[in-house]
Amino acid sequence: MLKTLLLTTLALLMTGLVATTFAVAQDDEPKREAQTLVAPNCVMPDDDPFLYPNILKNPSYNTVGPNGIQTSWLGPLPAPPPPSAAAQWDMHNSNAGDYIGTWMLPSNGPQGPRMLRVLTRGNEGGVTQRFLPDGEGVTHFMIAAWVFVVRGNVMIGTNDENGVSSAAFSTKVGEWELLRACRNGDSKSNFFFAVNQDPKGGEFYIDAATVVVLPLTQKPDLIVRLATPNVAQAGTDIGPLVKVYARNDGGALAEGTASAGVNGYMIDVMLSKDAFVPPGFAVFSPNFAEDALLQGGRISITQDLLPLQLKLYATGAMIPADTPAGNYFLCGRIDPGNKIAESNEANNFVCNAIKIVK
């Protein structure tokens, strides 16, 4: 059965506001297998790649380019290449000089609020960005992009001095798809591209793109972050208001207690008069004591963390009833038992200011 997807967008053309509807015959498209160029020992985070620092410029296509919200080119590319409708992004076409056009549009995609429409009549039409100067670049990194293919086949990737250094290809038509790949090499990459790979031409939307530098260290590096209320009343459990985030900023697995037992990391939540907590496990006290473990504040069942992986944990945090009113810090320490050999042991705690009232 022929499945047809109607995609309606508002194309903000130079001549005015034009509604454009595209019919995508999904069953007429050839089936494609996912293809990703991944170097050995290249470990990608398994969560949202857009949670991490992005070294691309204008990665969500929110800033309009110097030539306006619609741009096009026909013929061999000049040097430097012509700008796209999005600032910091250039247009690219095939060696034959086929037509390439780009439009800045409101986004219905996962990242929003704007996206870039790309229409090309030949192979290799798309957009590119040189995110670092020639002679500079990254060697260990992840790339990702949200794309919506109307027709054709989209390839995202990076180039180094030897050619393509990482790449991922679209596998779907008529729906948003997250493409991702990573690289662990010696040569430096500084050029990102998202292009059509169908010689008959293509049309696609790109909602956001990212290049994330991955850690080079061969050890894990655990950090903890807290989301906490500004005020709490003595004698109350503020655990439901506290979120505990554990992240591995290193380049190797950090084992949790769910897999490693007593040799995995734990997390302690404490109350302190200053923004420092001593190393080691905190000691519980039902009464207020400096740097004491709060009731329910030990997270003893934890999950493994891959490089750059983030986990959210719930906790208890009963403020002792005899805590004097005043200004305090709610602190968290990850791996208080020092079970994980890390590249940096000095960044394992965090403290957030909190006011205790009676």
Candidate CATH numbers 2.60.120.260, 3.40.47.10, 1.10.150.120, 2.160.10.10; the one for domain 4-213: 2.60.120.260
Contacts of 122 (CB under 8 A, 6+ apart): 93, 94, 96, 98, 99, 196, 199, 201
Mean pLDDT of 27-56: 57
At 28, the pLDDT band (50, 70, 90 cuts) reads very low
Return the domain boundaries, the chain: 4-213, 222-357
At 239, the pLDDT band (50, 70, 90 cuts) reads very high
CB 161 within 8 A of CB 178: no
- Tokens linked to 284: 């519980």
Report the 10 Å Cβ neighbour count for 236.
13
CB 45 within 8 A of CB 307: yes
Q: Which residues of 292-318 are buried (b: 16+ CB within 10 A; e: fewer)?
A: bbbbebbbeebbbbbbbbbbebebbbb
Q: Do domains 4-213 and 222-357 have the same CATH topology?
A: no
**Per the omega criterion (within 30 degrees of 0), is the bond before 113 cis?**
yes
pLDDT at residue 235, as a whole number? 97
DSSP 122-167: STT-EEEEE-S-TT--EEEEEEEEEEEEEES-EEEEEEETTEEEEE
| pLDDT higher than threshold 60 for residue 94 | yes
258: enclosing H helix or E strand:
helix 257-260
At 37, the pLDDT band (50, 70, 90 cuts) reads very low
Closest to 84 in 3D by CA, of 72, 93, 74: 72
Q: What angle do CA 249, 207, 209 make, to 5 degrees?
A: 35
At 11, the pLDDT band (50, 70, 90 cuts) reads very low
Q: CA-CA distances (angstroms) from residue 268 to 64, 66, 226, 271, 283?
A: 47, 52, 11, 10, 10
Entry field: residues in the chain: 358
pLDDT at residue 42, as a whole number? 59
pLDDT in tens, 137-161: 998 899 999 999 999 999 999 998 8
Please provide the distance, in angstroms rounded to a whole number, between the alpha carbons at the two ends of the chain: 68
pTM for this prediction: 0.62
Q: Which of 11-20, 28-37, 70-79, 137-146 shows the lowest per-residue confidence on average (mean pLDDT)? A: 11-20
At 5, the pLDDT band (50, 70, 90 cuts) reads very low
Task: Identify the CATH class of 222-357.
Answer: mainly beta
Mean pLDDT, the chain, rounded, equals 86
- Tokens linked to 139: 């060697």
At 43, the pLDDT band (50, 70, 90 cuts) reads low
